[in-house]
Amino acid sequence: MCGIVGIVGSRPVAPLIVDALKRLEYRGYDSAGVATLEGEILDRRRAEGKLINLETRLNASPLSGNIGIGHTRWATHGAPVEVNAHPHFSSNVAVVHNGIIENFRELRQALEGDGFTFTSQTDTEVIAHLVAKGLRDGLEPIEAAHSAITQLHGAFALAIMFGTEADLIVAGRNGPPLAIGHGEGEMYLGSDAVALAPFTDRITYLEDGDWVVIRRNAMTIYNLKGVEVNRDEQKSIGSALMVDKGNHRHFMLKEIYEQPEVIGHTLANYIDFNGDKIALRDMGDNQNPLDFANLDRLNITACGTAYLAGYTSKYWFERHARLPVDIDVASEFRYREVPMSEKGMSLFISQSGETADTLAGLKYCEQAGQHLAAIVNVRESTIARSSHNVFPTLAGPEIGVASTKAFTCQLSVLASLAVGAGVQRGHISREQEIKLVRELSEAPRYANDVLKLEDSIKALAHTLANKEHVLYLGRDTNYPLAMEGALKLKELSYIHAEAYAAGELKHGPIALIDEEMPVVVIAPYDRIFEKTVSNMQEVAARGGQIILITDPRGAQEAGMDGIKTIIMPEMPEIITPIIYSLPIQMLAYHTAVHVGTDVDQPRNLAKSVTVE
């Protein structure tokens, strides 16, 4: 997750910005930069790698301006090299940006036609040129910034500085968080309150669609239409030494809201957005290169939510890559004495990379001579160190015990791997690869749109809070997602929940249906929707209380009165498991809040299970 810091001050700000960026290091990054305004000249220092490299540049060639912006970057569009590091300049404009601009291709082509020259591979540079174009066309700086923001599609946070304005930063968000800090004769901007903790404990959080004009002694917040809005100032309890909940009640809710951002950064680690192609990083070491074309079987082993991510990917690998997949719960895997294929690969999924059962399965496969790969959130973990290939998720620290953003990042990695495997194995054409890559790149925006459904989901959660049992149904990739929904509800609210493949309903679970049984059905309108609807009708005929998670076409085609619905946006099939994860997370979260359980630390559970 990129980190953004800005200061409109009355003293040299570059050292302060670097210190603030250090407090955002937990978000992960691969380059960093700072820009300040000295007189009427924008100047910057950028460096690949860690902040110590940027500090070395600044020590050799200091920046002395009293207003500035800084950035730590996880590479999305373009390699993690200095020319792609932020801030980006265009004429007298400087920009830092977090997120993915989905329409950057169209914007770039139009700007190049208007005579603008691009010096980087990033999508961010289009923002700087858009603002510069607005200035060239006669707009005032604030107007030019607003005009540029309204032209961007995607999930993003950004900050803009002008060479002509010694008392102005314009910032905006559409997804990734931004916090404004209030000082005495200084104002601050940061990706979270942790970055600003040494400066102030007076924080205002921007809401989705807000943009803000920040000056040394004041700020004004507007919505996208340019109408002034009010946002409450809060006292932050964050310190410079801890991850902060921000303006969220629980870490889990904060982590749910971080998903547009972390999904985007994770996908960017495996996709070349500029080239519209899969570019799998960490594909292999020199001694153990990985080529999916040489595999005849993939074995996936994991526990809990990670297992369900792997289960989802079984459909992807078999459908897109025609690669047979075995999926096992790690605690059962090694005891069934699995015969391993000589041309097989074993993939282990673990958020912590220390899960005892999963690690035991890895050792079994190592002894069997298998090629070993891992999907982990901690690259220095035991499972990562023990594997030939490591495919990291870029979720950042996950404090809530019940996994949210780690799960969707695991799905993002697996979707990318499945498409990459399909390309390598010759089952995905170049045209299909372009289509799938562009569909995957839309996931952050769809995730951000779904977060806006929270109030309606919260209302539905109240209907579950007084129930003793809940049933979840789904088909295809929605079956493991139903299992994840049931697991989340059990973990958080202590309500008994079960999940079944919808076609199995009449083979037993239908005996449980009565007027008191809520049934959550996950069913976007797709090629098997009609089959799922027939199962829903069986539930409705027996008085079951249906909560249908679907899209507008699905809600229309269901044709059933009296069912409650969560209406999702229509979206490409490849990303539905990623995006439909959010409403099941929010449904479980708000049910637990209503019940009154400890959401972040449910009873009897640990974040990392390191013993069998």
Mean pLDDT for back-to-back runs of 10 residues, the chain (612 residues): 89 95 80 94 94 95 95 84 94 93 93 95 95 97 97 93 96 89 94 86 90 96 94 72 70 93 92 88 59 93 95 97 95 86 92 86 90 88 88 88 94 97 96 96 94 94 90 94 96 94 84 84 90 82 86 86 89 97 97 92 68 48
Which residues have CB under 8 Å from 551's CB, separation 6+? 524, 525, 567, 568, 569, 570, 571
With residue 126 as reference, give the H or E element that holds it.
helix 124-136
CA 32 to chain centre: 21
CATH number given to 254-441: 3.40.50.10490
CATH number given to 3-247: 3.60.20.10
Query: Pairing relation of β-strands 31-38 and 67-73?
Result: antiparallel
Please indicate whether the domains covering 3-247 and 254-441 agree at the CATH topology level.
no
Q: Where in the chain are the domains?
A: 3-247, 254-441, 448-595
Helix (H, G, I), strand (E, B) or coil at 139: coil
Q: Report CA Rg, the chain.
A: 25
Residue 2 bears catalytic tag = yes
Q: Of 2, 303, 365, 409, which is the active-site residue?
A: 2
pTM of the model: 0.77
**Distance set, CA 468 to CA 474, 488, 495, 505, 517 (Å):** 21, 15, 6, 19, 9
Provide the sign of the torsion angle of the four alpha carbons 581, 582, 585, 587, taken in this order. negative
Q: What pLDDT sits at residue 513?
A: 83
Q: Of 277, 458, 564, 607, which is the active-site residue?
A: 607
As assigned by CATH, the class of the 448-595 domain is alpha beta
